[in-house]
């Protein structure tokens, strides 16, 4: 039962312990029987469904179609792209036996599907008329994690993976950036996470990609969460799998491909972007219940209050609000308040005999200090506005937080100081060894070369070499 114990470990005391307590007590997830696996419980899964529906709509609106590819992939497929197998080999789960006997060739449980989709694209694409091919898959993937963390890094997770093929680099790059923009929009408009878009440095690229782009979000402990990535794969996978087309000229050409993914890890991002010491704080767009109504009344008055609360619930639902009537008879209103606070419900409405006599309900928002009376007749319109305001407030609050924790650094002292509590904007020489040294000393890595970073020259914050990117990079510790 949620809310059985009062009080949550404060974020400031131990952010990691706070996170673990929240995800379990709010009944978002549970540990699976196998180390590193996760069960997504109904309350957590509903948040995922809402996120999924929104992403799916945007993916379809931009001309992509869903399909489904096999879970089990011949081990040899991964070896066809050298960087790809090097990147994923340590994380693979391998099926060696099936149907009561040992398999001739081991099968890997997909860690991602570039290989098997590449094989099928090669079969399906003949002419330039078949391009672009714009596919998406909703699936589970398995990556054996050494340091599992609920929702952020589990051996299995849920995601969508877009896979597209194009006639040339320009088309594939446009697609790569379209997917990146889609992720930035989802993060901001739905999850209220003010992400920064940018490109990854060479050392942080997807194994097999020519370029990797990312949306990075700042969590309330100042760390970065990579929240979605979009890869331009060049002709690497096209060459490995023979994805070719006949051009109008009659020549046989390799396709340029992309892939891009966003996952259930976003739920972890929502928790760590908005949550506080009382529990979750959910953006209305992702809240299973946007408004919870708690009837309060004893004896003779209970029936009238109950009727009015049920009526209000129906009216809110008709206005498109996900309203929930908490009429559990065996727990107190105080218990319910704490429970829904823990679960991050944006708005709570209390309805007692006195409120009913006044023709109003008492509204408390998840972040507000005081309660406000909401006249019952106009409640649906008022709550619709309040929810929109709450969604906007979360984005603004998170943006302010991120900005307050992001500082430029021109000296190593400024750099080490800044990444202790947040992000820093600094120049870098582009050398992978220099990146490694920074990571070894500070645990900070280049999160991205921000797309909207102004052109600027300077010296590497670590080794004083020439700046390689013509602008500052964002550095920070990450999940």
User: Which residues make up the interface to a second copy (CB under 8 A)?
Assistant: 1, 30, 32-34, 37-42, 45-46, 48-49, 65-74, 77, 89-100, 106-107, 109, 116, 119-120, 123-124, 126, 129, 135, 139-140, 142, 144-146, 155-156, 158, 330
Q: Are 45 and 83 in contact (CB under 8 A)?
A: no
Between CA 263 and CA 58 the distance in angstroms is: 15
Nearer to a second copy, 112 or 467 (CB): 112
Provide the minimum distance between the beta carbon of 249 and a second copy in the complex, in angstroms, as a whole number.
16
Q: Are 141 and 243 in contact (CB under 8 A)?
A: no
Whole-angstrom CA distances from 400 to 70, 105, 220, 369, 395 are 44, 53, 11, 20, 9
Helix (H) or strand (E) holding 331: none
Within 8 A by CB and 6+ apart from 125, the residues are 131, 133, 165, 243, 244, 245, 255
Nearer to a second copy, 328 or 396 (CB): 328
Nearer to a second copy, 75 or 221 (CB): 75
Nearer to a second copy, 65 or 389 (CB): 65
Nearer to a second copy, 51 or 360 (CB): 51
Provide the minimum distance between the beta carbon of 161 and a second copy in the complex, in angstroms, as a whole number.
14
Provide the minimum distance between the beta carbon of 340 and a second copy in the complex, in angstroms, as a whole number.
17
The β-bridge partners of 258 are: 164, 232
Nearer to a second copy, 74 or 295 (CB): 74
291-295, strands of its sheet edge to edge: 323-325, 291-295, 347-351, 360-365, 372-375
DSSP state of 112: -
156-166/196-199 β-pairing:
unpaired
Provide the minimum distance between the beta carbon of 388 and a second copy in the complex, in angstroms, as a whole number.
26
Provide the minimum distance between the beta carbon of 313 and a second copy in the complex, in angstroms, as a whole number.
16
Nearer to a second copy, 118 or 344 (CB): 118
Provide the minimum distance between the beta carbon of 141 and a second copy in the complex, in angstroms, as a whole number.
10
Nearer to a second copy, 67 or 373 (CB): 67
Q: Beta-carbon neighbour count of residue 299 at 10 Å?
A: 7
Tokens read off for 79: 């070896």
SS (H, E, C) 250-277: CCEEECEEEEEEEECHHHHHHHHHHCEC
Between CA 27 and CA 271 the distance in angstroms is: 13
Provide the minimum distance between the beta carbon of 125 and a second copy in the complex, in angstroms, as a whole number.
11
Provide the minimum distance between the beta carbon of 261 and a second copy in the complex, in angstroms, as a whole number.
17
Provide the minimum distance between the beta carbon of 158 and a second copy in the complex, in angstroms, as a whole number.
7
The β-bridge partners of 127 are: 246
Nearer to a second copy, 98 or 357 (CB): 98
Provide the minimum distance between the beta carbon of 123 and a second copy in the complex, in angstroms, as a whole number.
7
The dihedral region occupied by 284, where left means phi > 0, alpha psi between -120 and 50, and beta the remainder, is: alpha
Provide the minimum distance between the beta carbon of 242 and a second copy in the complex, in angstroms, as a whole number.
13
The β-bridge partners of 66 are: 136
Provide the minimum distance between the beta carbon of 143 and a second copy in the complex, in angstroms, as a whole number.
9
159-175 as b/e: b if 16+ CB within 10 A: bbbbbbbbbeeebbbeb
Nearer to a second copy, 7 or 99 (CB): 99
Within 8 A by CB and 6+ apart from 42, the residues are 27
Nearer to a second copy, 10 or 126 (CB): 126
Within 8 A by CB and 6+ apart from 16, the residues are none
Nearer to a second copy, 245 or 423 (CB): 245
Between CA 262 and CA 184 the distance in angstroms is: 11
Whole-angstrom CA distances from 235 to 129, 207, 209, 232, 238 are 19, 14, 9, 9, 5
Phi, psi dihedrals of residue 152, rounded to the nearest 5°: -90, -40
């Amino acid at each position: 039962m949620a809310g059985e114990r009062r009080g949550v470990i404060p974020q400031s005391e131990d952010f990691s312990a706070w996170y673990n307590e929240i995800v379990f007590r709010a009944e978002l997830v549970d540990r699976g029987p196998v180390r590193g696996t996760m069960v997504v419980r109904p309350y957590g899964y509903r948040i995922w469904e809402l996120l999924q529906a929104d992403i799916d709509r945007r993916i379809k609106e931009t001309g992509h179609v869903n399909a489904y590819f096999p879970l089990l992939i011949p081990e040899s497929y991964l070896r066809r792209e050298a960087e790809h197998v090097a990147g994923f080999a340590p994380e693979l789960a391998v099926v060696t036996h099936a149907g009561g006997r040992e398999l001739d060739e081991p099968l890997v449980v997909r860690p991602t599907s570039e290989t098997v989709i590449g094989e099928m694209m090669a079969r399906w694409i003949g002419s330039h008329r078949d391009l672009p091919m714009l596919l998406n898959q909703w699936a589970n993937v398995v990556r054996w994690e050494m340091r599992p963390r609920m929702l952020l890094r589990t051996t299995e997770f849920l995601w969508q993976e877009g896979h597209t093929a194009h006639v040339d680099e320009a088309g594939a790059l446009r697609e790569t950036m379209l997917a990146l923009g889609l992720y930035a929009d989802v993060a901001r408009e739905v999850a209220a996470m003010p992400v920064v878009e940018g490109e990854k440095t060479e050392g942080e690229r997807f194994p097999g990609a020519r370029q990797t782009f990312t949306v990075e979000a700042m969590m309330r402990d100042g760390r970065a969460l990579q929240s979605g990535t979009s890869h331009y794969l060049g002709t690497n996978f096209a060459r490995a799998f023979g994805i070719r087309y006949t051009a109008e000229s009659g020549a046989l050409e390799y396709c340029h491909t992309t892939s891009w993914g966003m996952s259930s890890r976003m739920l972890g991002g929502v928790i760590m972007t908005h949550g506080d010491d009382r529990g979750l704080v959910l953006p209305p767009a992702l809240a299973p219940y946007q408004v919870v109504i708690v009837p309060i009344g004893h004896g003779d008055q209970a029936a009238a209050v109950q009727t009015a609360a049920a009526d209000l619930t129906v009216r809110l639902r008709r206005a498109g609000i996900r309203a929930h009537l908490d009429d559990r008879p065996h727990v107190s209103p105080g218990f319910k308040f704490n429970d829904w606070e823990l679960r991050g419900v944006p708005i709570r409405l209390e309805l007692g005999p006195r409120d009913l006599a006044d023709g109003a309900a008492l509204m408390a928002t998840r972040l507000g200090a005081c309660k406000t009376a909401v006249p019952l007749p106009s409640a649906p319109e008022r709550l619709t506005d309040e929810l929109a305001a709450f969604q906007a407030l979360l984005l603004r609050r998170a943006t302010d937080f991120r900005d307050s924790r992001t500082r430029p650094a021109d000296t190593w002292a400024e750099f080490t100081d800044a990444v202790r509590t947040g992000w820093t904007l600094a120049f870098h020489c582009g050398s992978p060894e220099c990146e490694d040294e920074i990571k070894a000393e500070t645990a900070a890595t280049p999160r991205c070369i921000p797309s909207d970073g102004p052109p600027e020259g300077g010296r590497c914050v670590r080794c004083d070499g020439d700046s390689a990117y013509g602008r500052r990079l964002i550095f920070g510790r990450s999940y």
